[in-house]
């Protein structure tokens, strides 16, 4: 019944759900029926590293940042925006506290689904279980790509890729967070930006 919930769940969320694994209309309806729309303010700490998270979130509107606390500062390793999915891997897979914190960098509109609701759907519907498996696989690949890029590509090259892939995202995020994501100081990032202009 795509036309019934099209006005409730925005197109980019539906596109994200369907891009993970092709779902028949009935399965898509079941998954979407578990979503709850929530609005949260900028600077809200959505995911905390010291607790088991019990929900996953699709971003309808806004930006989120994932980071770990280092000895002297926060280390940013992910940004999410409209259409992206937010969840703690360790909580989702192992039912254990995650290692990451995820904070909202803008006022956000999210679609939340509780993990227990999702697991119930997985147990009863093989197509949705396959969707959940594929979600974990795709997120693992994305994490691996970020890790390899950070190890083998210089910061200037990674920044140039960010500029090419998503210049709008870069304009929405503070330079300090981008520098942390690239593993450089803000001074170094300023120099990289000047060289790329």
Q: Which domains can be identified in the chain, with CATH numbers?
A: 2-152 (2.60.120.10)
Q: What is the mean pLDDT of each run of 10 residues along the chain (197 residues)?
A: 47 87 94 95 96 96 94 91 92 92 97 96 96 93 89 92 90 94 93 88
* Helix (H/G/I), strand (E/B), else coil: 146: helix
26: Cβ contacts below 8 Å, ≥ 6 apart: none
Strands 101-104 and 45-47: antiparallel
* Residue from 133, 49, 137 nearest 88 by CA: 49
61's CB contacts (< 8 A; 6+ apart) are 82, 106, 107, 108, 109
Cβ atoms of 192 and 155 closer than 8 Å: yes
pLDDT of residue 177: 95
Q: What is the pTM of this model?
A: 0.89
Pairing of strands 45-47, 36-40: unpaired
Q: What is the pLDDT of residue 9?
A: 62
Supply the pLDDT for residue 72: 85
Q: What is the pLDDT of residue 8?
A: 54
- Of 102, 83, 81, 85, nearest to 162 by C-alpha is 81
d(CA 139, CA 77): 13
**How would you list the strands of the sheet with 108-114, edge to edge?**
36-40, 108-114, 55-61, 85-86
Nearest to 54 by CA among 100, 113, 103: 113
């Amino acid at each position: 019944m795509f036309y019934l919930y099209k006005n409730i769940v925005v197109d980019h969320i539906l596109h994200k759900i369907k891009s993970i694994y092709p779902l028949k209309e009935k399965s898509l309806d079941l998954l979407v029926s578990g979503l709850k729309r929530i609005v949260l303010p900028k600077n809200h700490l959505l995911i905390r590293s010291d607790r088991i998270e019990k929900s996953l979130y699709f971003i309808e509107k806004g930006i989120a940042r994932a980071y770990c606390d280092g000895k002297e500062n926060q280390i940013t390793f992910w940004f999410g925006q409209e259409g992206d999915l937010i969840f703690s891997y360790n909580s989702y897979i192992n039912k254990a506290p995650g290692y990451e914190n995820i904070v909202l960098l803008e006022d956000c509109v999210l679609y939340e689904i509780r993990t227990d609701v999702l697991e119930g759907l997985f147990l009863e519907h093989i197509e949705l279980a396959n969707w959940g498996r594929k979600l974990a696989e795709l997120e693992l690949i994305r994490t691996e790509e970020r890790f390899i890029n950070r190890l083998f590509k210089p910061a200037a090259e990674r920044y140039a890729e960010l500029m090419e892939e998503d210049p709008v995202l870069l304009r929405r995020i503070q330079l300090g967070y981008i520098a942390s994501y690239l593993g450089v100081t803000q001074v170094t990032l300023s120099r990289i930006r000047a060289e790329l202009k």
